[in-house]
Amino acid sequence: MLKRFLLTPGPTPVPPEVLAAMAEPVMHHRAPRFTAVLTDVVAGLKSIYQTGNDVLVFASSGTGAMESAVVNLVAPGDRVIVASAGKFGERWLQLNRTWGADVVALEYEYGTRADPADIERALAEHPDVVAVFVQSSETSTGVLNDIRAIGEVVSRTPALLVVDAISGLGATDLRTDEWHVDVCVAGSQKALMVPPGLAYVAVSTKAWKKVEATDNPRYYFDWTAARTKMAGDSAQTPYTPAVSLLAAQNAAIRLIHEEGLENVFERHRMLGRACREGARAQGLSLFGPDDPEANSVTAIVVPDGVDGGRITSLARDKYGVWLAGGQGAMKGRIFRFGHCGYFGASDIVVGLSVMEMVLAELGYPVRWGASLAAAEQVFMQSTVAL
């Protein structure tokens, strides 16, 4: 009998209200009832995206929506900039190369941010760039890029800004319109508090022009078909939608609205801060810059002498807690706490306690209870419910 805790950056825990909505009788997708749900979901997503742009819904994981951005925007031979500093940045690189883009790769070390000045220089050097691809929160490292600054740079050019906000949207402020984000990709399974299976893209007017001019072969992920079918009073999706996940997303959006978007961000600030203070109190080093707004994922450097590969398996098998390990080049070198979405103080408390026990078992000289003591100081000062 092991109680299981997901402390990973996706999938994330799902609130009981959302699970209950998902368990409602399956609705048919060519019915007014579904139109009402879809319309509500899109309106709710727009408020979270902070956008007046179109928001399209796909039954796919986030990667599907990332590929849809490339397919709808990038013709073979088009020049693009990809600013990459982690596994998901590399995914933008692979997707663009797969579809024949001429890629200007700005590759940063894992654990660092993309530099807006580099993007500015690259755009000046390559005035024919059609799009700049970047992450908001790079899930593999927890690092948050400065989308506002990058948006300012890109918006002065004909290029589009395409942001993967899969682990960021709903956890950290991301002002799609104000920050000039032309295409913003998100997924249901992180801060949006629904199981995996739905992906979203917000598409600006500037982006739609490029969509119309790009004639890559595409069918399931064709944005124009989606926009057409999702418009108006009888909105539907072109192909069978994940109806129960949409019912769940509708319930999750209601919870986000009840809490209030600003309170949601503040809750994530507290969780991120507690996690970072908990790690530091244990003498551990954080991976990446100390950023009070990078609150989707906390990445911690595996201390010397500890077998990093065993941290997550011990936590999972002995204590029922799923932490995330390092991905790609970071395998065995970092471990991560995901805390975007349906997370509260209790999850961080459980995660830090398991971290202490697991690190001790792996030979680290643990300061017993120190991580909890540090987290408790953060929680006690919180102005929002945790």
Residues that bind its own copies (rule: CB under 8 A) add up to a total of 41
Nearer to its own copies, 20 or 36 (CB): 20
Q: Is residue 379 a contact residue for its own copies (CB under 8 A)?
A: yes
Task: Give least dist CB 47 to its own copies, A.
Answer: 17
Distance CA 147, CA 96 (A): 20
Nearer to its own copies, 91 or 268 (CB): 268
Strand-pair category, 183-187 with 198-203: antiparallel
Residue pair 34/28 in contact (Cβ under 8 Å)? The answer is yes
Amino acid sitting at position 252:
A
Residue pair 33/266 in contact (Cβ under 8 Å)? The answer is no
Binding its own copies by CB under 8 A: which of 122, 246, 271, 321?
A: 321
Quote the tokens at residue 225.
């078909």
Q: Is residue 7 a contact residue for its own copies (CB under 8 A)?
A: no
Select from 53-61, 149-157, 206-214, 357-365 the region that touches its own copies (CB under 8 A): 357-365
Residue pair 325/312 in contact (Cβ under 8 Å)? The answer is yes
- Is residue 250 helix, strand or coil? helix
Distance CA 257, CA 259 (A): 5
Residue pair 240/29 in contact (Cβ under 8 Å)? The answer is yes
Q: Is residue 5 a contact residue for its own copies (CB under 8 A)?
A: yes
Nearer to its own copies, 140 or 371 (CB): 371
Task: Give least dist CB 380 to its own copies, A.
Answer: 5
Select from 38-46, 76-84, 290-298, 363-371 the region that touches its own copies (CB under 8 A): 363-371
Q: Is residue 385 a contact residue for its own copies (CB under 8 A)?
A: yes
Q: Is residue 43 a contact residue for its own copies (CB under 8 A)?
A: no
Residue 106 to residues 121, 126, 135, 139, 156: CA-CA distances in angstroms?
11, 13, 13, 18, 19
**DSSP category for residue 159:** P
Binding its own copies by CB under 8 A: which of 76, 328, 363, 369?
A: 369
Q: Name the E strands within 224-282.
A: none
Instruction: Count other C-beta atoms under 10 Å from residue 344's C-beta.
Output: 15
Distance CA 19, CA 211 (A): 36
Instruction: Count other C-beta atoms under 10 Å from residue 215's C-beta.
Output: 8
Q: Is residue 319 a contact residue for its own copies (CB under 8 A)?
A: yes
Q: Is residue 320 a contact residue for its own copies (CB under 8 A)?
A: yes
Task: Give least dist CB 104 to its own copies, A.
Answer: 42
Q: Per-residue string for binding with its own copies, 332-351, x by CB under 8 A?
A: ----------x-xxxx-xx-
Task: Give least dist CB 37 to its own copies, A.
Answer: 21
Chain positions 234 to 273 lying near its own copies, rule: CB under 8 A, are 255, 259, 263-264, 267
Q: Which residues bind its own copies (CB under 8 A)?
A: 1-3, 5, 15, 23, 255, 259, 263-264, 267, 318-321, 342, 344-347, 349-350, 353, 356-357, 360-361, 368-377, 379-380, 385-386
